[in-house]
Structure 1
Amino acid sequence: MKLLNLMDTVASGLSAQRTRMEVASSNLANAHTTRTAEGGPYQRRDVVFSATVGEED
């Protein structure tokens, strides 16, 4: 079971990194955007992660 826990941890880390990269690419793509579709100013997006503690088998 420890191998499965390890794989879950790795998958979670990869998912977090994918989210960070998507947000960074969105921020770069909109670096010179002055207005959103709604007319407001563009606000950069930030990713905030929190630690979770899982149960051990």
Structure 2
Amino acid sequence: MSHTGYVMASYGTAALMVAGLILWVFADGRGRRRELKALDDAGIRRRSAPTTAGEPQ
């Protein structure tokens, strides 16, 4: 009795899921960078960013 088909389908499914997760993280990272750039262009800064003298916090 051979379980080759089951094993190959399992590995294929796992590989597709890992590839999907990698693509999702990559696309989400690009989206976050785009949102941060839009906020930065609008003048909204991070609280952890250093401020200059006289600039409102």
Q: TM-score, normalised by structure 1?
A: 0.61
Aligned-pair CA distance for 1:31: 1.1
Q: Number of residues paired by the alignment?
A: 40
| Greater than 4 Å deviation, 4+ residue runs | none
RMSD of equivalent CA atoms? 1.6
* In 2, Cα distance between equivalents of 1:6 and 1:19: 20
Greater share of residues in helix? 2
Q: TM-score, normalised by structure 2?
A: 0.61
Which one has the largest radius of gyration?
2
Percent identity for Structure 1 against Structure 2: 3
**Higher RCO by CA contacts (8 Å cutoff, separation 6 or greater):** 1
